[in-house]
Every structure is written in C-alpha cells, then in structure tokens.
Structure 1
Amino acid sequence: MIQSKFLVVLMSVLLLCGSMGAQDVSIDKRMKEADPKNIGTRVVNKFIVTPHTRFGNPRAEKAPNYITYPDACAWLGALWFSKTIQDKDMQRKLKERFEPLFTTEKHLMPRMNHVDHNVVGAVPLEIYMQKLGDKKYYDLGMKYADSQWVVPADAKPEQKAYADQGYSWQTRVWIDDMFMITTIQSQAYLATGNRKYIDRAAAEMVMYLEKIQRPNGLFYHAPTAPFFWARGNGWMAAGMSRLLSVLPEDNPDRPIIMKAYQKMMNTLLENQDADGMWHQLIDEPASYKETSGTAMFTYAMLVGVKRGWLDKKSYEPAAMKGWLALISYLNADDELTNVCEGTNIKNDKNHYMTRKQITGDLHAHAPLLWCATELLTK
C-alpha cells in the first residue's frame, strides 16, 4: 500500500479533486487505483514483454537499429522499482532481458559516441550494483561512462573545445543532455565511489544552467526554438533532481544547482493545471495535456519534497495531484496515452502544438516508474 507519509495528502487531494477522472468512482477505490506498487508493477510487466523499441514508440514501423535512450531510461526505472519493492522475480526478468545484449543481440548495443547512446550504460551498472549480474555488467557500464570524457581522434573542433575546458566531448548544450550525461556519470560514481564522476557531472550541469536557463527558471527547447516544451524541460527537472540526490553535500557546485532547481520548480508549480497535469507547452494552456512532461515534473517535485528542498505545504499536494492525474491516463493495456512524439527543434510554435500523441511510448513510462519508486521509497 502507499507509504503512510503520503497517505493523508493523497486522501485530501482526492477529496479536493473529486471531479478528476470518473466521477462515480469512490474515494476508496481511487486510493487503491493510485497505489504506486500496483501501478509500477503493471508498467514494469508491460516493459518486460515489450520488444526493444525505436526511440520509445512500441508501434514504430521500423525495428530499432540499437537500444535507444527511452528504453534505457525505462529499464533503469524498472530496475529501481523492482529493487524498491524487493521483487526478486521481476529483477531476474529485467536482468535476463539484458543478457542477450552480450551475445545474440550484441549488435544492438549503441556506439559510445553520443549522449543519447552513452546513457544506456546506466542499465548494466544498475544490474551490477543490484548484484544481479557479474563484472561484465560493470565493465560494460563503465566503458560508457569513461568514453564520455575520452576525446576520439575524429572529434569535431567544438567537441574538442568543450573537452579542453574539462567538459564532455559529447556536450551539445541541449536540454535532454542534462539527464543523459548526469545519469550515466552518477551511476559510475555510485558503482565506484570515485568522486571524479559525480563532480564532473555537476560541473557540466552548472555550465548548461549558466548557458540556457531562462530568468523564469525554465528552458527553451533551443535558442532557435524559444518555446517551453514540456518533455525537454522534464529532462532538466529530472536531471537536476536525480543529480542532487546523488551529489555529495560538500560539492561546490551543489548550491548553484539547488538554486536553479528550486527556481524551476517554482515556475512549474505556477503552471500546473487545476487537475494536476502540465501542458505540451508549459505556459500555453491551449496546448494539449502531456504525460511524459507531467511525469518528469511530478518526479522532480516528489524528490524535492521528500528531501526537504521544497516547501512541503505547497509542493506535496502538487506532486500528489500530478501522480493522480498521470495515472488517469494509464489505459487497460497498461500504457500511458497522450505522450508527445519525438520532437526535433523548430522555430515554429505550431510545430509543438500539433505534435502527435502516442500511446505506450517509453518517454512517459520511464518517469512514471521513477515516480512510483519515489512514492514507495522511505
């Protein structure tokens, strides 16, 4: 059942938001339906039987050429969740799903040449840290972490320039990066205890924040696309909250990241819809309600409330409203609906307003599992 510390808040939010979802459903039933253990179990079991996807979409016309980052992020979330609920069988199945990537599916492991590729290394490191896999998992994961700072001979001049400043040669200054880079480096730190991994992840985050965070705490999709796209901002929100969860208290960059995180959370709180959702464009109520961004923002708030970084009175109800709203989009096939399709950068507001909404896309399933884990973790 749901952690007792959230139980009272969940009940009060349900009473206040009784109009959300089916109106004839009792509060008791809604409480059971909102149980993160039940929700997470359904989504993990769905992931286990879903073939590898092409950029998160289980209905994509083409098969994937390699394991893409939405799969890796969902896999990582599934592992965190299964460990939290101590489901040995679930953990075993998640490990067994990876094992062919050393043999018959080895060709699906991505090259170590891009932030979206290298984050895949977080999965074998988690399997190793959970004592599910042997040293080959550690070795594989560490190759992805280390190669992110080893400049290849064919690196472009701008990549070498970032490396000369102590940053990853894979730096792009895209908002997605601040989950991808910080996650693999955080995992390497947790696996080794070596401060260089977490310290360089923090320094990378500060550089990104200085370059692209807007005065209101949010982030444009790109300088050439001045729109507050939800999922892009979600990667930043999740990246900062996860990094701060792992980052030692004495890291000199921690206060800068914390201030940026709190500024972002404040603006997100102001833009949360009455039913708990966030929109495809955060500051545009006419855009559709979108589940991947909502899941990431909810996760970031759950992390901050639990660790005392955010005002509990303001943010705990908001986080619970986000959770309740999010799971109302989980269908009978254990798939979230209303997930924005992959979105390239374009200086056109209509480009974001009209993006297709996909069902079952792992871009949303991954952060839903992060949320369920946070709700169940003491």
Structure 2
Amino acid sequence: MKTATFSFWLAASSLLISTAGMAQKDGDLTNFPKGATPQEIGKRVADHFIASPHPNFGRPVPPKVITYPETCAWYGALTFAKVTGNKTMAKQLADRFEPLFGAQDTLIPVPDHVDYTVFGAVPLELYQQTKDARYLKLGKGIADKQWGPPEGKRVIPASHEFYKRGYTWQTRLWIDDMFMITTVQSQATRATGDRSYIDKAANEMILYLDSLQKPNGLFYHAPNAPFFWGRGNGWMAAGMSELLRSVPADNPNRPRIMAAYKNMMASLLKYQAEDGMWRQLIDDPTSWPETSCTGMFTFAMITGVKEGWLDKKTYGPAARKAWLKLITYLDANADISEVCEGTNMKNDHQYYLDRKRLVGDMHGQAPVLWCATALLRK
C-alpha cells in the first residue's frame, strides 16, 4: 500500500514538474504555481500598501506632499482591486484618499512638475470606479494644468519654448517623463471620454522618441546622460504600454509609437538575463539585477502579449520567467528588495552603478502591482 501511494505521489509530482516546464516554455500567462499567482502576490503587496503610512523616499519623517512612487503604487493597487473585483480593497484605497479632501489637503501636490502632476492618475482612477464627482474635478484639473501656460516657481525659459511648440511646459526630456505624462493623460481620456488628452500625450511621446531612443531600441536617460539606465527605460516601456492601451486607432502617431515600443521590446529580449531579470544598466553585464526595471519591463511585455501587439510564443516565456523570478525578491512582509533608489540624471556611468539598493521602496512595489493587474486582464 505504501509503495502504491509513493508511486502515485511520484507520478503526480512528475506531472506537475512537466506541466510547469511546459507552461514556462509556452509562455503561459494564466496558470502559475500556488504562491506565485498574480491574485496572491497582488493582494499581498496591495494589502501592505494600504497598511503603510505615506512614504517619503525612505526618510523617517512624513512627506510634505504625496510622492510620485506612492502615486504609482496607489494607481497599481486600485487597478488590481478593480480587475479582481475586490470591493473591500477598493474602499480601503478610497478611504486612504478621503483625508486629502479635508485636513490633509496640503498633501496634494501642486501640479507644476511631471513628478507631481502624475498624482492626478489616482483621483481619475477613483472617479472611474466610484463616479464620485470630487475625484473627477480634482484629477481633471491636474491634467489640464499640464497643458496650460507655464505657471509657478518651476518655470524656466525652456518651459515657454516647449509650450509655444504645442508641448507641455513641463517637458524636460528625461525618459521618466514618459510614464508621468502619459499615465495621467491616458487616465484623463479614460475618465472623461475626451481624446484630446491622450492625443496630446501621443504627440509628446514622439518628441521623446526623436530625442532619446537609440537604434537598438533603448533610451538614454537624457540627451546628456548617455546610459541605458534600467528604471528610466522601465518608465518608458510602461508609459508606452499605458498610452497604447488607450490611444485611438486613428491617431496618426500611433503607428510610430507602436514601432518604437516593439523595437524596445525586441532589444530587451536580448538583454534579459538567464534567470529572467534585467540589470541596473541594461547593457552592462557587470551591473546588478534590479527589480523596479524588471517589473516595468515585465508589465510592458505582459501587456503587449495580452493586447496582441507582441508574439506570445516569443514574449510570453520571457514575461513568465521574469514574473516568477521577480516575486522571489519579495520577503515575508511583501517588501521587494534590490530596488534602485530615486535617481537624478548624471553624465557618469559609475553614478548609476553606485545607487543604493533599497527594500520595500515604492519604486519597486508599484511595478509588481502593475504586473499582477496586467496578468489578470482579459
């Protein structure tokens, strides 16, 4: 009897191993081992976010305003709650926002910089889920400011020049901008039905493609920072994905953006490590595996496969491998490690290699939530 039981267990284990191997090879993005499913991982990370105070780039004091990494995680948690139909979680995320309509309204960032304006994506998502007009008024106002005339203490001469050319005055030609701008403007179109927001964002994207994308498909951090920084490229990959999900089919810039996106994805395939990760400097094999860029690239590939932009047999295995390796960096508290700290632009290769490697930073938490959502989208 014991021999028969052992034989059955052995056969079942072999079948599970074989099935897992086939799924990995085929790039199955729907079936994952227990403990690695997007439902489980997303809930752990989102619940941890809800229980956490407003972060301040690792500093022990509360922030003066909501930071952009928190905005990105908040947006990710909201989309995860929506795709899973978790009404309790959605309410908790709305409850986190409620004080911003009252005593804590000073935490709402002044939308005079791309890192502050992206905050509008959160109330715009809350409006789509709740239809509470307060969220629409706030989020739309923030999105509108991005296209309005230069205003505030951050205005520089270049702000006026970009504005005169039809771009947002907040343009600075850092690749980070192409998530910050495209996300809030995509959300404005989704919330209002007014395509002018996303059409302007698509036009802005062309400026950045012309300025920063290289023939190999990757992007310099800025014109005077000629390095393929991981998370910077991650912002671009995720930003193009968010834009392409909603930019109208008849937008004249869509084909160019799609071509740039596919060129980037093809290049990322070549630089993905054997274990599924990408590195702090994408093309430097001596640099360290970094989780925030890996999460962002994974999100972009999952989205491309799900939307039919990318070949499933080619990109499915890469996305699956990346997801399964990425989540091994989560600890028992659902904090992810090996996250590059907040990084300015600098013309110095070593500067990027020497960035601190953080645990639980929202730059890394957010992409895990985006990936979980993307894996669950139909």
2:45 aligned residue: 43
1:226 aligned residue: 226
Whole-Å separation in 2 of the counterparts to 1:13 and 1:91? 36
1:109 aligned residue: 108
* Per-residue deviation, residues 281-303 of structure 1 (Å, max 9, x unmatched): 10111111100000000000001
Residues 1:376 and 2:376 are matched in the alignment? yes
Task: State the shift of 1:347 in Å.
Answer: 1.9
Larger radius of gyration: 2
Q: Are residues 288 and 104 of structure 1, via their aligned partners in 2, closer, same or farther at CA, if it must alter by over 3 Å?
A: same
Whole-Å separation in 1 of the counterparts to 2:215 and 2:67? 33
Whole-Å separation in 2 of the counterparts to 1:365 and 1:230? 16
- Unpaired runs of 5+ residues, structure 2, are 1-15, 26-30
Q: Are residues 9 and 226 of structure 1, via their aligned partners in 2, closer, same or farther at CA, if it must alter by over 3 Å?
A: farther
Where 2:33 maps in the other structure, the secondary structure is helix
2:336 aligned residue: 336
Does the 8 A contact of 2:24 with 2:321 survive in 1?
no
> How many aligned residue pairs are there?
356
* Per-residue deviation, residues 120-157 of structure 1 (Å, max 9, x unmatched): 011011101001x6211110001110000111355432
Does the 8 A contact of 1:238 with 1:296 survive in 2?
yes
Does the 8 A contact of 2:305 with 2:315 survive in 1?
yes
Q: Are residues 117 and 8 of structure 1, via their aligned partners in 2, closer, same or farther at CA, if it must alter by over 3 Å?
A: farther
TM-score (norm 2): 0.91
| Matched AA of 1:11 | A
Q: Are residues 189 and 77 of structure 1, via their aligned partners in 2, closer, same or farther at CA, if it must alter by over 3 Å?
A: same
Q: Are residues 182 and 13 of structure 1, via their aligned partners in 2, closer, same or farther at CA, if it must alter by over 3 Å?
A: farther
Does the 8 A contact of 1:9 with 1:316 survive in 2?
no
CA RMSD of aligned residues (A): 1.9
* Per-residue deviation, residues 207-235 of structure 1 (Å, max 9, x unmatched): 11011111111111122221111000000
1:296-307 to 2 correspondences below 5 Å: 296-307=296-307
Q: Structure 1 segments of 4 or more deviating over 4 A?
A: 7-10, 13-16
Residues 1:196 and 2:196 are matched in the alignment? yes
- Unpaired runs of 5+ residues, structure 1, are 1-6, 17-28
Whole-Å separation in 2 of the counterparts to 1:365 and 1:356? 16
Task: State the shift of 1:9 in Å.
Answer: 11
**Identity among equivalent pairs (%):** 56
Whole-Å separation in 1 of the counterparts to 2:19 and 2:124? 34
Q: Are residues 364 and 200 of structure 1, via their aligned partners in 2, closer, same or farther at CA, if it must alter by over 3 Å?
A: same
Residues 1:149 and 2:158 are matched in the alignment? no
Task: State the shift of 1:30 in Å.
Answer: 7.4
2:21 aligned residue: 12
Whole-Å separation in 2 of the counterparts to 1:12 and 1:242? 31
1:98 aligned residue: 97
Task: State the shift of 1:353 in Å.
Answer: 1.2
Task: State the shift of 1:242 in Å.
Answer: 1.0
Does the 8 A contact of 2:39 with 2:84 survive in 1?
yes
Whole-Å separation in 2 of the counterparts to 1:354 and 1:103? 41
Q: Which moved more, 1:31-40 or 1:306-315?
A: 306-315
* Per-residue deviation, residues 245-273 of structure 1 (Å, max 9, x unmatched): 11111110000000000000011000000
Does the 8 A contact of 1:305 with 1:315 survive in 2?
yes
Q: Are residues 124 and 213 of structure 1, via their aligned partners in 2, closer, same or farther at CA, if it must alter by over 3 Å?
A: same
| Matched AA of 2:49 | F
TM-score (norm 1): 0.91
1:294 aligned residue: 294
Task: State the shift of 1:11 in Å.
Answer: 2.3
Task: State the shift of 1:36 in Å.
Answer: 0.5
Q: Are residues 309 and 322 of structure 1, via their aligned partners in 2, closer, same or farther at CA, if it must alter by over 3 Å?
A: same
1:20 aligned residue: none
Does the 8 A contact of 1:173 with 1:208 survive in 2?
yes
2:209 aligned residue: 209
Does the 8 A contact of 1:13 with 1:321 survive in 2?
no
Q: Which moved more, 1:150-159 or 1:341-350?
A: 150-159
1:160-309 to 2 correspondences below 5 Å: 160-309=160-309
Where 1:31 maps in the other structure, the secondary structure is coil
Does the 8 A contact of 1:13 with 1:317 survive in 2?
no
2:312 aligned residue: 312
Whole-Å separation in 1 of the counterparts to 2:324 and 2:122? 28
* Per-residue deviation, residues 174-220 of structure 1 (Å, max 9, x unmatched): 10000010111111101111111110010000111011111111111
Q: Are residues 139 and 286 of structure 1, via their aligned partners in 2, closer, same or farther at CA, if it must alter by over 3 Å?
A: same
Does the 8 A contact of 1:115 with 1:170 survive in 2?
yes
Where 2:147 maps in the other structure, the secondary structure is coil
